[in-house]
Amino acid sequence: MNRAVLLLCFLLISVVAISQVPDTSEIQEVEIASKAFGTSKQQTPYQVNVIDANLIKRTLATNFCEVLAFSGGLRTETDCQTCNYTQLRMNGLGGAYTQILINGRPLFSSLMGLYGLEQIPSNSIEQVEIVRGGGSVAYGANAIAGTVNVITKAPTKTNFAFQQTFSLVGMKAQDWNAQLNGAFVNKKKTSALSLFAAVKKRQALDVNGDGFSEIPLVNGNSLGLTYDQKLFKQFNFQLNTFLLNEKRRGGNKFHLSPEQTDQCEFRDQLTSMNQGSLQWNGKKLSVQLFSGFQSTQRKHYTGVNQVNGWGTTSNHTVQTGLQVNYKHPFFNGNMWWLLGGEHLLDDVLDRVDAYQYLIDQRIDQKAVYLQNQWEVSEKWTILGGIRLNKHSRVEAMYATPRLALLYKPTNRLQIRVNYGKGVKAAQVLETDMHMAFANGGVSTVLTDPQLKSESSNALTVTVDWNKRFGAFAFSLTGNAFYTELRNPFVLEEIGQDSLGNTTLFRTNGNTAKVKGVSLEVKILWSKFLQMDAGFTVQQANYTSPQIWSNSVQASNQFLRTPNDYGFLSAGLFPKSKTTGGINVVYTGSMLVPHFGGAPENSMDQLHVSKAFVDCSIRLQHRFHIHRYEQNIIIGLALQNVFNAYQQDFDTTQNRDSNYIYGPSKPRTFQVSLRYEIGAE
C-alpha cells in the first residue's frame, strides 16, 4: 500500500506544480471515431479515453494486450501458468463484462477473448477508444463494465515501415517480433489501402527450474488490410480484414508431441475477421450499411500424464446491420438522432471427447436502438437512448437504456453523469470457462441448467479539466463508478467427475457491488515531456460470502481483484532525435484462489498476494534522411527492471495452473530496429 500512496502523491504533486504556471490557452482536443459526425472527446456526453499511436509507442507494446493497462480503470492479467491466456478487467469486473469492438463492430467473440488480445499486433492499431460504464446504445447490451473500440490504421499518405524487435524474456528466452506496414493513397485521395503483417516467435521459459514452463512457446502470424474508397461525392466504402494464426504451447518435454508429455496445453488457432461498410454522408443525414464475419478453427490439447486430451473448436460469428444518423438545429443548439438495427449470430462447437466435455451453442441476437443527443446550449448536453434486445437464450425481449448528461461550466471543465443498464444472457464459453489444471488433473466447468441471465445497473460520474499553461498542456480527470450486479455468474467447486477431474459449477451468485474512484493525469510539455498517469481505488464485494472451494472459508470479496492499481507512462524529449521514457504498472494486493495438489500446497487455500510494481525504461535514437523522408530508429529497453515477478509458482504436472498473478513476464532486455519511408 505504501507504493500506492507514493504514486497517488506523485500525481497530486504534478497537479500542484503545473498549476503554478500562468495560463495562456486551452488544451488541444483529441478527435474520436465513435461518432458518425466528427467530434472531439470533449464534446461527447459520455467520457471517452483514447490510447493514441504515441502512447502505444511509448509503452513498447507489440500487441493490443500490452497497451491496455495504460488507461484509467483498466487492468490486464495473465490467468494461466501453462498457456498464459489473458483478459482485460475494467472497473474491477472480469473480461466477460467488457465489450471489445473492432472498428465499432462486435466480431471479437467470447472465444477470441481468451487468446485474441495478444493476437492483434500493435502496428495495426491507429488508436483505442475506451468508454467506462454506459455509453451509446449502439455498443450492445453486454457493455456492462464498458467498451473498448480498436480503430485500425487508415492512411492519409503513402508510406512504408518495417520493425524488428528482439527480446530476452527473463534474460534467457528469445522473443522475435517483426512488423511490416504499408500504406498507399492515390493523388486525388479517393482511394487508400493500408496493409500490415506481423510475425512473432517466442521460446518457452521455465522460471522456477522444475522443468515446466511459466512462459509458453508462441509462434504467431498476422496479416490484414484496410481499404477505403470514396464513391462519387457522398458515398464511402470500407473493407477491413484480419487473418490471425497462433500456435501456443506450455508444459514440458517440448521435443515430444503433447500427448507424450507429463503436462501440456497446446493451441493451434486460425482466425479470420472481415468487415465491410457502405456509408452515405450528407450535411445532416448519414446512412451506413455494415456486415461482418468472424471464423475461428482451433485444434487443442489439455492433459497430464499422457492422457488423450485432444479437442477441436469451431466458432463462427456473423453480424449485419443498418444505422442512420440525423443532425439538425434545435432551438439554440443541435440535435443528433441515432437509429439502428442489427443481427448477430454466434455459433460455437468445442469438444474434448476424453473428458466428456462438449459445448454446442448457437446464439441468435437481434436488436433495434434509438438514441437522441441534444445540445441544449453551450453548457448542457443530454443523451438518452434505449436498445431493445431479443436473445435466443432469453424468453422475452428486454430493454437496456442509456442516459448521459454533460455540463460544461467553462471551456476547460466538463462534468459527465452516465447511467447504463446491461444484461448478460445465460450463455457459455467465456473467460471463466477456461479448462485448467488443478488437483493433479484437469478442472472442467459445468453450467447450471437453471442459470439465469445476469443484469446490471452502472453509474459513473466524471469530472474532466484541461488547460494549457504556456508550453504546458495539462488534463486532469476524476472518475467515480458504481455497478450493481444481480444474479452474477460464479464458479463453485462441486467435487470430481468420473475421471477424477475437479469439477466447477457455473451458477448464479448473490448480488455484487463494485464501486471506486480513479484519477488520471495527462501532461504535454512542449518538446520535453509527454506523460499519462492514473490510479484507481475500488471495492468489489458480494452481499454475502461466496463458496469457491469446499475446503476454504467462503469470502465476499471478488477474487483476483486488487483494491488499488495504477500506471504511469512518460516520454522524454519526444520530438528529438534521442528520446527516452519510463513505464510503470502498479498492481495492488489481492485474494488469489489456490487449489491444492502440487508438492508445495496440498490443500485449497486463499492466498493474499503482495503488491507489484512493474517498471520499464527505454532509450531510442532516430537517424533522419531527408530524401523521401526516411527514418532509421534504434531502440533499447529494459522491462520489469526490478524483476517484480511471482516467486511462488506451483511445480510439477500437479500444479494449479490458474495460480498466477502479477506481471506477465520477468525482467526482459529488448532491442529494436525500425525503418520508415514517407513517415507522417
pLDDT tens-digit series, residues 537-570? 999 999 998 888 888 888 899 999 999 999 999 9
Check residues 408 and 527 and name the one with the higher pLDDT: 408
| Distance from C-alpha of 654 to C-alpha of 262, rounded to nearest angstrom | 9
Check residues 454 and 172 and name the one with the higher pLDDT: 172
User: How would residue 26 be classed by pLDDT, with cut points 50, 70 and 90?
Assistant: very low
The pLDDT score that the predictor gives to residue 32 is 57
Q: Which three cell numbers stand for residue 55?
A: 502512447
The pLDDT score that the predictor gives to residue 24 is 34
Q: Which three cell numbers stand for residue 322?
A: 443498418
User: How would residue 162 be classed by pLDDT, with cut points 50, 70 and 90?
Assistant: very high
User: How would residue 13 be classed by pLDDT, with cut points 50, 70 and 90?
Assistant: very low
From residue 454, give the alpha-carbon distance in Å to each of 97, 251, 512: 10, 36, 11
Average pLDDT over residues 247-262: 96
Instruction: Count Cα atoms within 13 angstroms, Cβ side, for 295.
Output: 6
Check residues 678 and 176 and name the one with the higher pLDDT: 176
Instruction: Say if residue 679's pLDDT is above 80.
Output: no
* Contact indicator for 483, 456 with CB cutoff of 8 Å: yes
The pLDDT score that the predictor gives to residue 41 is 65
Lowest mean pLDDT among 106-120, 162-176, 191-205, 542-556: 106-120
| Distance from C-alpha of 149 to C-alpha of 273, rounded to nearest angstrom | 15
391, with CB counted inside 10 A (0-12, 13-18, 19+), is buried
Which residue reads 506496414 in cell numbers? 181
The pLDDT score that the predictor gives to residue 3 is 46
Instruction: Say if residue 8's pLDDT is above 70.
Output: no
| Distance from C-alpha of 577 to C-alpha of 674, rounded to nearest angstrom | 14
Q: Which three cell numbers stand for residue 167?
A: 527480446
Per the prediction, the chain carries an average pLDDT of: 87
Instruction: Say if residue 4's pLDDT is above 60.
Output: no
Lowest mean pLDDT among 5-19, 91-105, 216-230, 659-673: 5-19
| Distance from C-alpha of 597 to C-alpha of 442, rounded to nearest angstrom | 11
Q: pLDDT, tens digit, for every residue of 54-89?
A: 899 898 899 999 999 999 999 999 989 999 989 899
DSSP alpha helix (H) spans, 348-429: none
Q: pLDDT, tens digit, for every residue of 614-658?
A: 999 999 999 999 888 899 999 999 999 999 999 999 999 999 998
| Distance from C-alpha of 610 to C-alpha of 589, rounded to nearest angstrom | 5
Q: Which three cell numbers stand for residue 247?
A: 500456435
Q: pLDDT, tens digit, for every residue of 416-474?
A: 999 999 888 876 556 555 666 665 567 677 788 888 888 899 999 999 999 888 888 99
Amino acid occupying residue 637: A
Q: Is 639 left (phi over 0), alpha (psi -120 to 50) or beta?
A: beta
Check residues 29 and 477 and name the one with the higher pLDDT: 477
DSSP alpha helix (H) spans, 410-476: none
Domains and CATH numbers, the chain: 2-677 (2.40.170.20)
**Sheet strands (E) in 190-252:** 191-202, 217-231, 235-251
* Contact indicator for 480, 460 with CB cutoff of 8 Å: yes
Strand partners, 550: none
User: How would residue 505 be classed by pLDDT, with cut points 50, 70 and 90?
Assistant: confident
Instruction: Say if residue 37's pLDDT is above 50.
Output: no
Q: Which three cell numbers stand for residue 193?
A: 489501402
* Contact indicator for 335, 327 with CB cutoff of 8 Å: yes
